[in-house]
Amino acid sequence: MSNAQDPSQLYAAHEPIFPRRVTGKFRTLKWWLMGAMLAVYYITPWLRWDRGPQMPDQAVLLDISSRRFFFFMIEIWPNEFYFVAGLLIMAGLGLFLFTSAAGRVWCGYACPQTVWTDLFILVERWVEGDRNARIRLHRQPWNWEKLIKNGIKWGLWLLIGLATGGAWVFYFTDAPTLFWGLLDGTASPVAYITMAVLTFTTFFFGGFAREQICIYACPWPRIQAAMMDEDTITIGYRSWRGEPRGKQSVQTSGDCIDCMACVNVCPMGIDIRDGQQLACITCGLCIDACNGIMDKIGKPHGLVGYLALTDEPLERAGKADKPIWKHILRPRTVVYTVLWAGIGLGLVAALFLRANLDASITPVRNPPFVILSDGAIRNTYDMRLRNKHGTDRWFTVTATAGGDVTLALEGTDALRVLVKANETLVQRLYVTASAGTVAAAAHHLPLRLWITDAEGTETPKAERIYKDTIFNGKEDK
């Protein structure tokens, strides 16, 4: 039967969910994780890290106006954005790895939407009571009690939202300065606007949108579904043990007494006994709920629990499950791990190998070369010299080429320039080959430019780097 013609069936009203309080090992784990993650989020901007007098002392700082990212001892310049790209790729691969091994653990335990919703539900429970009380309050007409309780709840939610947005802005500028600036009204409007937007989105997403975000707005569930296979350990209902549902006094009944505990605690409002489904974020609360009931009726835990699809036939046949490592260790997870670790090692190596001076050389190609009055060929290069030291440094420039060339720097007779601490200098370099030389007639002469830190006194040998480019000669036709 198709009722697509009936417009009344095209849209469904939102049914509010009132998750019941639950205790158990997953709930305890989630409390600790929530505490740890919120603590990291709120405390991180306040950590200090001494980088010298000219530099910001905030341990983690995304200084967008100065184009620097600081992370403890690491400082990322805009030209090193590949570190950020690498971290994002690692985050993606990490998600692939965790999802293929253990399902939607990100969704269930670490996603901010889940963590903040959890916190908002906690507040809701403090103010309005547990599931039944909340349902009653929801159904009763508006009166003073409902108004006051909702008012308190919304007020607390707004405070949490404000604190969320408030912590966010501290990552982008010096936290103590901004804190007092926010209080006395001298902070940038951008900070206030960001806080207002994040306060509202936190309030709305955590308080009202909740599971709708996961089901309708978030792309991850769809992507993650493609990461899971029959060996993925995820949450399921052991129907072969639970069915048929019914009273324990009836001999033919399975272990499931149809108490609805797993449904009542579910923040997504689903019935895990229907099997894995799109809306399930694998938060583990149904496991806690069911295990509590199993304790009461004297049955073993695990009617609802973490298991893989490949374990089902084994369990039905009364055999033991495959060991967990056999589920986890399979080509797919190994490939993800190797990729993840490879990129990570590459980034760490790049981090330690990078020099405190850096340069990029851009040949000026309009025109490719200039003929001077004595017939010499001159090429021009724009150099960006980056001094990552906390002190001013003199950099010298030399060249090795396949032919004789002479160097000159715009605006100075010397072959050295002063680059200020933690700054980039754009310096024009002229490379000239005399008329009749190999270089002057070359099509593309390889040219290696060496940049040396002339004041590398605290290091045993002067730090130097090279950049390869080409020299354009005037080819004889």
Partner 1 sequence: MCAKPIKDDAKAKVGTTGHSWDGIEELNTPLPRWWLWTFYLTILFAIGYTIAYPAWPLIYGATPGVLGSSTRADVDADIQHFDALNAPIKAQLVAADLTAIEGDDALKAYALAAGKSLFATNCAPCHGSGAAGVQGLGYPNLLDNDWLYGGTIDAIYTTITHGVRNTVDPDARNVGIYMPAWSDKASGPLADMATAKLSADQIGQVVHYVLKLSGQTAHEAKATAGAQLFKDNCVACHGEDGKGNRDLGAPNLTDAIWLYGGDEVTLTKTLTEGRGGVMPSWGYASASSTARLTEADIRAVAVYVHSLGGGE
**Interface positions with partner 1 (CB under 8 A):** 1-4, 9-14, 212, 216, 236-240, 243, 273-277, 307, 309, 312, 364, 366-367, 370-375, 378, 380, 410-411, 428, 430, 435
> Closer to partner 1 at the Cβ: 62 or 309?
309
From residue 438, how far is each of 334, 368, 372, 433, 444 by CA, in Å?
54, 17, 16, 8, 11
- Least spacing, CB of residue 233 vs partner 1, in Å: 11
Q: Tokens 């986890």 belong to which residue?
A: 328
The residue among 173 and 234 lying less far from partner 1, judged by its C-beta, is 234
| Contact residues for 459 (Cβ-Cβ < 8 A; gap 6+) | none
Tell me if 333 sits within 8 A of 65, measured CB to CB: no
Distance of closest approach, residue 302 Cβ to partner 1, in angstroms: 11
Minimum CB distance to partner 1 smaller for 252 or for 366 = 366
Residue number with CB closer to partner 1 (57 or 321)? 321
CB-wise, 244 or 346, nearer to partner 1?
Answer: 244
Query: Which residues lie below 8 Å from residue 257, measured CB to CB, with a gap of 6+?
Result: 245, 246, 247, 248, 293, 297
- Closest to 99 in 3D by CA, of 345, 343, 332, 339: 332
DSSP state of 215: I
Minimum distance from CB of 146 to partner 1 (Å)? 22
Among 387, 395, 421, which residue's Cα sits nearest to residue 54? 421
Terminus-to-terminus CA distance in the chain, angstroms? 81
- DSSP annotation string for 165-190: HHHHHHTTS-HHHHHHHHHHT-S-HH
Whole-number minimum distance, CB 307 to partner 1, in Å? Answer: 6
CB-wise, 69 or 237, nearer to partner 1?
237
Of the two residues 136 and 326, which places its CB atom closer to partner 1 in the complex? 326
- Tokens found for residue 217: 């707005």
Separation between Cα atoms, residue 440 and residue 375, nearest integer Å: 9
| Smallest distance from partner 1 to CB 386, Å | 18
Least distance in angstroms from the C-beta of 241 to partner 1: 10
Q: Nearest distance from residue 376's CB to partner 1, in Å?
A: 8
